[in-house]
Amino acid sequence: MSCGCKTSGDSAHSCGTKSANGCESVNTCGNSYKLSVFDWLSNVQNPASNRCDFVEVRFKNDRKLFYKNVNNIPLHIGSVVTVESSPGHDVGVVSLTGELVKIQMKKKRASEENPLKIYRQANQKDIEVWQEARKKEENIKIEARKISHRIGLEMKITDVEYQGDSSKVTFYYTADNRVDFRMLIKEFAGAFRTKIDMKQIGFRQEAAKVGGIGSCGRELCCSTWLTDFRSVNTNVARYQQLSINPQKLAGQCGKLKCCLNYELDSYLDALSHFPSSSTMIDTEKGRAFCIKIDVFKKKMWFAYVDSSMAWYDFDVDLVKKMISQNKRGERTLPLEDLKQPEISVKTVDLIQENSVDRFEKKNRGSNKNRNQGQNQNRPNNNQNQGPRKPRPENNNERPERSDRAERPERQERQPRPEKTVKPTQNNNQRPQKPQQQRPPVEKGETVNAVNNDAEAKPQNQAPKKKFKKKFPPKKDNNA
């Protein structure tokens, strides 16, 4: 058994309830199919003693009827009930209870005289027969379309609905002209072996039954909340200054979109402060006519009758002054002189959507600031530094890092004085090459330096490999 969430015909939503009593949550069940209702008075206590006995019951897609609860059965939204029908009985789902039912009956002009009755809550057998009948609908729709095509009728079978007790089948069809379906009913009765009922619907009702997504990106209004379809003509598009483009203005039903009527009253209210679009203005250069109206900016575009290539826009107040001046018999200045220069308004792009490298700029700026901060901190630290501390004699004792940071900046290098050759006892150090002009030194020092150089050279230089000289073999005289 199901709570009725699968009664939309073309949806497979289910809230998980498996009882004929329906869902416990009266606010959520029913929102998964078309034209669902939210009972906003469910938590409000009714001060009146008498309670509304009528209940709104929905069937496949958008069909709803009002029934009277004569047996005072405790019902809530989502309860599966067996109701009166002709012939037999039908199975539906309660979609609304309480005081809101009276408002809906008044809105749809449903009479309370001779109402249909609710027999009982659907039992196991009623629901099984009802679900078996619902499984046949798709195959029957395909067969019915084949039969109508074979007969040659200009009609389209949109939907098929079985009654709860499988005693009647209702075929919904659309057609441009009147259709004689007497032969078709005989074919259907012989093929399906049940009572046949044919109902013609409009193209808007067809779109409501089929459903879909509109050009706005949302679900169709006719399949979610719209129940009354008002006529929409091309004057609605003209009032809103829209181009008469059937491809853009038409919905999935092939007619003009119902949403064109939503803002029509606001446009008519705004246009009441505008002069007529057929207004002509007499200027010193010639007559000018209105060629365009902008409702939001409250401007009107005019062009000369002789040369309509150049357009000039004026505020509505200025146009009214020009019209009153013409009524006094005076001609206005040319349109070129009356046009005021436009003040360019600088727009601030807060989101920075127009800049392609908006992410790179942030990174570059942060890197620059970081480098500038480092460069600024360096001279400040150096200025506070004192004189360099003398190095300790012992090389093993190294100064701490704080002492290193306090070193002053390096000054420019001064030219070093020429080094004098000193005797070195370290044999690992390479001696300098003797220069051509040596400074005069004492005799004892020269001898020691030469001896040290002689001793240091063979040790520092890599030893040369000695190759044995190959001699030819000696001749053996005895051989």
Dump the DSSP string for 46-90: P-SSS---EEEEE-STT-EEEEE-TT-----TT-EEEEE-SSSEE
- The confidence score (pLDDT) of residue 337 equals 85
- DSSP for 280-328 reads EEEBSS-EEEEEEEETTTTEEEEEESS--SS-EEEEHHHHHHHHHHHHT
Q: Which of 112, 136, 121, 124 is nearest to 60 (CA)?
A: 136
Q: What is the CA radius of gyration of the chain?
A: 50
pLDDT of 240 higher than 60: yes
User: Taking each helix axis from N to C terminus, what angle separates 137-151 and 182-192, rounded to the nearest 10 degrees?
Assistant: 140
**Cα gap 292→311, rounded to integer Å:** 9
Residue 173: pLDDT band (50, 70, 90) is very high
CA distances from 100 to 29, 106, 108 (A): 17, 10, 12
CA distances from 1 to 126, 256, 401, 403 (A): 10, 42, 82, 87
| Range list of H helices, 152-225 | 182-192, 203-210
Which comes out higher in pLDDT, residue 216 or 4? Answer: 216
Instruction: Tell whether omega for the bond before 473 is within 30 degrees of 0, i.e. cis.
Output: no
Span 446-461, mean pLDDT? 48
- The confidence score (pLDDT) of residue 127 equals 93
pLDDT digits (tens, 9 = 90+) for 80-112: 999 999 888 999 999 888 888 888 888 888 888
Q: Which of 98, 104, 89 is nearest to 53 (CA)?
A: 98
- The confidence score (pLDDT) of residue 24 equals 45
- DSSP for 251-290 reads -TTSSBPGGGGTTHHHHHHHHTTSPPTT-EEEBSS-EEEE
**Cα gap 379→372, rounded to integer Å:** 12
Beta strands at 195-200 and 168-174: parallel, antiparallel or unpaired: parallel
- The confidence score (pLDDT) of residue 437 equals 53
Highest mean pLDDT among 290-304, 329-343, 344-358, 459-473: 290-304
3 state DSSP class of 150 = helix
Beta bridge partners of 81: 92, 121
Strand-by-strand arrangement of the 195-200 sheet: 156-162, 168-174, 195-200
